[in-house]
Amino acid sequence: MRRSVLTLLSVTALVLFSAPAIAPTIALAAGTAHSSARHCVAEAVPAGSSARPAVTCYATFAQSIRAATRGRVRLPANAAPGSVTSGQLNAGTATPDTTYVLSIDYDGTSFTGASLTWTESSRCGSFQAASMPSGWNDRVSSVEAFSNCANSLFKNNNFGTPRYNIGRNGSVANLGSFSNVTSSEKWCPTSPC
């Protein structure tokens, strides 16, 4: 009996202490949305790919940044959207599994509201999203670009014009007439993408 109790306690401790440090609020499949998961992370795809980026959403901005950087960047739990800096995102030692933040889209002006953090396995290159992840079509109102990337927003799927260009490591606090019309995006080393 004593041995059974010790084994049960050992297994329980193993399960409790080996759980992942970052648990997504919910992983969204294509065509679904979840209202309590406000801060999402998506991986951009290589240029020319027709794949739709998968998205995982979290309850807080800090959780989304931690997930986007695979734990390399840990913001305070109450960090506000728009509070992360390029210096923070570039901190830490790069390893073979490092992911980089290409840009962060916000549904509010001045880098507020819900966020969509775009990542890739290299600092910058030719990446794209031919259509926005579920719940993010026609929703972007401000953008910050990182990792030496420029960013182009397109009004239509598959990069249909008009487009809005953001320079390398640039930011736009208010997209003005381009607010709430983004349906696809590209990232590249120089603007326009």
Instruction: Supply the CATH number for residue 72's domain.
Output: 2.60.20.10
Number of separate domains in the chain:
1
Cα 91 from Cα 36, distance rounded (Å):
29
Q: What is the dihedral of CA 56, 59, 60, 64, to 10 degrees?
A: -10
31 pLDDT higher than 80: no
144 belongs to a structural domain: yes
Residue 28: predicted pLDDT: 38
Decide if 10 is inside a domain: no
94, part of any domain:
yes
pLDDT in tens, 70-88: 999 999 999 999 999 999 9
Across 20-40, average pLDDT: 48
Contact (CB, 8 A) for 146 and 104: yes
What is this structure's pTM? 0.81
Residue from 85, 88, 95, 21 nearest 58 by CA = 21
Phi, psi of 120 (to 5 degrees): -160, 170
pLDDT at 30 exceeding the cut of 50? no
Q: What is the pLDDT of residue 128?
A: 96
Query: 5: burial class by Cβ within 10 Å (0-12, 13-18, 19+)?
Result: exposed
Average pLDDT, stretch 115-120? 97
As a whole number of angstroms, the distance between CA 89 and CA 140 comes to 21
In a domain, 1, yes or no: no
Q: Residue 97 — pLDDT band, cuts 50, 70, 90?
A: confident
Spatial contact of 24 and 67, defined as CB atoms under 8 Å apart: yes
Mean pLDDT of the chain: 83
177 lies in some domain = yes
